[in-house]
Amino acid sequence: MIVIAEPVEMQRLALAWRTEGARIAVVPTMGALHEGHRSLIRIARARADRVVVTLFVNPAQFGPGEDFERYPRSFERDRAVCETDGADVLFAPSAAAMYTPDHSTWVEETVLSRGLCGARRPGHFRGVATVVVKLFMLTQPHVAVFGEKDAQQLRVIRRVVRDLNLPVEIIPGPTVREPDGLAMSSRNAYLSGEERRQAVALRRALDEAERRFAAGQRDVTALRTAIAETIRKLAPAATVDYIEIVDNDTLEPLTQVDRAALVAIAVRFPSARLIDNTVLRPEPVC
């Protein structure tokens, strides 16, 4: 496996691969790799001749007061993971290499990014969309793999690819969970022991919504109330940031689950903000 830090070097290699007819897959990450990331690398490995894992803690997607400085960084461990799981390149540029001092060009999706995390983190998805397009230009992928845990991000990136006619297939990777159901996240490392025990409430709340939906509940207010009550009961240390039930494609709010619906939640513990989601799908009417 090759480690590359310079964007021009990465682009030169990717273009050479394309000239040779190789199929390229990219897995964009911010490092602190866990089993969820590893599952994405394995998906990429099965879909391509060459796999690039990018490791870049992107300053453009962090707002004031967020955790950019303390975001987990474990380069040597991440390099070992990438090599073990079959990456051909670990692309790990510096912020200075990715953004010149007078950088002034941004990519902004303006519809799918408005609600959910976008409403709470102004500028976040502008930073995400910009860096992803830059990474696509540098790694020249045929396919890119993103995790379903970051549901809004996945939909925003799909929209950017569609609207800008980028020749990249976006492949979703299923959420990978701890044995107790907590979605794997690099930010889980922030949690204290008690917060970690309470964090399972996110999955339990989604389970409760799924149970009530399976029993026939379609009213969004009732489902949101059930989710909130479960979190309040199981995670007293947490504050709900949002509980939203929206159209699975457009992310528009729903009042009734009469189509595929994304149930998205964000919860703040004293040490970390966590997100999770599930999709409710009504049976088709014959």
- pLDDT per position as a tens digit, 221-275: 999 999 999 999 999 999 999 999 999 999 999 999 999 999 999 999 999 999 9
Q: In this structure, what CATH number is given to the domain that contains residue 123? A: 3.40.50.620
> Is residue 35 domain-shared with residue 143, that is, in the same domain?
yes
Instruction: Classify residue 178: in a domain, yes or no.
Output: no
Pairing of strands 24-29, 143-147: parallel
Residue at which a domain ends, from 173, 203, 224: 173
> Is residue 98 domain-shared with residue 22, that is, in the same domain?
yes
Q: Nearest-CA neighbor of 241 among 263, 268, 222?
A: 268
What per-residue confidence (pLDDT) applies to 286?
56
In the chain, the number of structural domains is 2
> Is residue 30 domain-shared with residue 164, that is, in the same domain?
yes
What per-residue confidence (pLDDT) applies to 170?
98
> Is residue 238 domain-shared with residue 110, that is, in the same domain?
no
- pLDDT tens readout for residues 109-134: 999 999 999 999 999 999 999 999 99
Binning pLDDT at 50, 70 and 90, where does residue 285 land? low
> Is residue 8 domain-shared with residue 126, that is, in the same domain?
yes
Q: Which of 34, 37, 103, 124 is catalytic?
A: 37
> Is residue 131 domain-shared with residue 159, that is, in the same domain?
yes
> Is residue 251 domain-shared with residue 158, that is, in the same domain?
no
CA distance 154 to 84: 26
CA distance 209 to 227: 6
Cα torsion for 76, 66, 59, 64, to the nearest 10°? -160
What per-residue confidence (pLDDT) applies to 284?
72
What's the predicted TM-score (pTM) here? 0.96
Question: Which residues are 136's β-sheet partners?
Answer: none
> Is residue 167 domain-shared with residue 213, that is, in the same domain?
no
Residue ranges of the alpha helices (H) in 99-252? 116-120, 124-139, 151-163, 193-198, 201-214, 220-234
> Is residue 35 domain-shared with residue 168, that is, in the same domain?
yes
Q: In this structure, what CATH number is given to the domain that contains residue 243? A: 3.30.1300.10
- What backbone torsions phi and psi does residue 175 show, to the nearest 5 degrees? -65, 130
- pLDDT tens readout for residues 12-67: 999 999 999 999 999 999 999 999 999 999 999 999 999 999 999 999 999 998 99
> Is residue 216 domain-shared with residue 247, that is, in the same domain?
yes
> Is residue 66 domain-shared with residue 145, that is, in the same domain?
yes
Residue at which a domain ends, from 138, 173, 208: 173
Would you call 103 a catalytic residue per the annotation? no
Structural domain span for residue 265: 186-278
